[in-house]
Structure 1
Amino acid sequence: MISSLWRRAAAELLGTGLLVTVVVGSGIAAAQLSPDDVGVQLLENSIATALGLGVLILMLRPISGAHFNPVVTLADALLRGRSWREVPVYVAAQLVGAVGGTELANAMFAVPPAWSVKHRATTPHLLGEAVATAVLILLIFLLARTGQTYAAPAAIGAYIGAAYWFTSSTSFANPAVTVGRMFTNTFAGIAPASTPGFIAAQLAGAAIGLGLPVVLVPASRARAADAVIPERTLS
């Protein structure tokens, strides 16, 4: 069956990889097309990311649930009862996919592989990452608990597109994406020294976001849902 763990892991690797390819590739293109206007660069990057993420969720959620994000996978295990044996498989696939997606974007634009030198780990950036991740987890699990998962592709894509602008960190909100973006010294990159702080902020934000759906929609009122973004079993 297509829902076996290795196929779900392959979907997570592919989805995370393509997501990071969209983020990094559109960032490189934006810097080339609008070299003198950082605001336009961010607009181009955020629109491409929002649209690409929505498409990837729609395409791959029937197979793996379309997490593409270790904090979503951890939250799914904690709140929805996903098997803990699947968590390290999902996370490993997401990390490998993220690095591969960055290198694919670099190759498409003939950018030499290099560590990013873009330092981002200031206190405002870390606060922005905590907020971005908390609201992302809140959004995903409120959709699940209120039976509105049909809206997930559009809602999550729209939120990430908006969060590029209203958070100081431009909303990575994803440890795998953060790791992947270390490997490109371009518009979307993040310096390795900034990565631990970003991941810590993302985990803290996820913990906050994890508690809010339980408070806002108690289990007794939650509609049945198979997963965060439910996958279906396909033959």
Structure 2
Amino acid sequence: MTDATARAIAAEGIGSLILFATVVGSGVMAQRLAGGNDAVALLGNTAATGAVLFVLITLLGPISGAHFNPAVTVLLGPRDRWLSFVAAQLLGGILGVLIVHAMFDMPLIEQGSKIRTGMGQWIGEFVATFGLLFTIVLGSRQRPDAVSALAALWIVAGYWFTASTSFANPAITIARALTDSFAGIRPIDAVGFIIAQSLGAWAGVQVAKWLAPLAPPR
């Protein structure tokens, strides 16, 4: 393994740890401060997630591509890094959830109990992940300097207009199944989310590549 590859894998693990910890931690904090007002809690959760996503993509993008998401890795990343990147994303992300539990004096090991299932939720995850990959591909081809902001803004919007609150990431879905907090999901419901995310991601990439094909080499 080259030094560059090791740094890229580390960047995916560290970035996923920070991102997943932010998603879950801001959900816990927002719920505690909102006094039962779910709209206020979601607003806090949204702001923190969008902010940290912009920071992480900007800083770690040059090192690993800043995937933090198996759907992005498998559809847009080099095949020789699929396994290592996805493993780093899952391990780093789960560690991030455990750190949040420790910070907030929660049991380290939990199981999500929030019900998130049904056609509306699955359509929401399809749309959220479609839009994320669509944004990344088109942004990379037309405004590569703006991808950090574009991806972060898509997720911020997705929190509010999709029925599922825009998980848009199979790894974070698994991690959120391990927390019984505002950001949690029942493990049994995670399967439907991951299937919808995978289909949406594939469709988003195909549509984006059709709309903005790469220029043929001269």
TM-score, normalised with respect to structure 1: 0.88
In structure 1, the residue matched to 2:132 is: 136
In structure 2, the residue matched to 1:232 is: none
Matched, 1:186 2:181: yes
In the alignment, the residues of structure 2 paired with residue 3 and residue 163 of structure 1 have an alpha-carbon distance, to the nearest angstrom, of 36
Question: Residues 186-205 of structure 1: CA distance to partner in whole angstroms, max 9, x if unpaired?
Answer: 00001100111110000000
CA 22–2 in structure 1, closer or farther in 2 if over 3 Å, else same: farther
In the alignment, the residues of structure 1 paired with residue 157 and residue 8 of structure 2 have an alpha-carbon distance, to the nearest angstrom, of 29
In structure 1, the residue matched to 2:148 is: 153
Structure 2 gap segments, 5+ residues each? none
Cα distance, 1:183 vs structure 2: 1.0
Question: Residues 11-54 of structure 1: CA distance to partner in whole angstroms, max 9, x if unpaired?
Answer: 10000110010000000000110122100000010011000111
What pairs up with 1:17-56 in 2 under 5 angstroms? 17-56=17-56
In the alignment, the residues of structure 2 paired with residue 25 and residue 220 of structure 1 have an alpha-carbon distance, to the nearest angstrom, of 43
Q: Which amino acid aligns with 1:143?
A: G
In the alignment, the residues of structure 1 paired with residue 99 and residue 173 of structure 2 have an alpha-carbon distance, to the nearest angstrom, of 16
Task: Determine helix, strand or coil for the equivalent of 2:199.
Answer: helix
- In percent, how many aligned pairs have the same letter? 43
Question: Residues 111-132 of structure 1: CA distance to partner in whole angstroms, max 9, x if unpaired?
Answer: 1131011120211000000000
Structure number with the bigger relative contact order (C-alpha 8 A, sep ≥ 6) is 1
Q: How many residues align?
A: 216
Cα distance, 1:87 vs structure 2: 0.7
Q: Alpha carbon RMSD of aligned pairs, Å?
A: 1.5
In the alignment, the residues of structure 1 paired with residue 74 and residue 36 of structure 2 have an alpha-carbon distance, to the nearest angstrom, of 40
Matched, 1:215 2:210: yes
CA 150–2 in structure 1, closer or farther in 2 if over 3 Å, else same: farther
Asked if 2 retains the 8 angstrom alpha-carbon contact of 1:119 and 1:193, the reply is: no
In the alignment, the residues of structure 2 paired with residue 189 and residue 160 of structure 1 have an alpha-carbon distance, to the nearest angstrom, of 17
CA 35–88 in structure 1, closer or farther in 2 if over 3 Å, else same: same
In structure 2, the residue matched to 1:118 is: 114
Matched, 1:65 2:61: no
Question: Residues 194-228 of structure 1: CA distance to partner in whole angstroms, max 9, x if unpaired?
Answer: 11111000000011101112210122279xxxxxx
Asked if 2 retains the 8 angstrom alpha-carbon contact of 1:133 and 1:206, the reply is: yes
Asked if 1 retains the 8 angstrom alpha-carbon contact of 2:139 and 2:150, the reply is: no
Cα distance, 1:2 vs structure 2: 8.2
In the alignment, the residues of structure 2 paired with residue 35 and residue 73 of structure 1 have an alpha-carbon distance, to the nearest angstrom, of 38
In the alignment, the residues of structure 2 paired with residue 93 and residue 216 of structure 1 have an alpha-carbon distance, to the nearest angstrom, of 32
More helix by share: 2
Q: Which amino acid aligns with 1:88?
A: L
In the alignment, the residues of structure 2 paired with residue 151 and residue 188 of structure 1 have an alpha-carbon distance, to the nearest angstrom, of 28
In structure 2, the residue matched to 1:9 is: 9
In structure 2, the residue matched to 1:227 is: none
Cα distance, 1:98 vs structure 2: 1.2
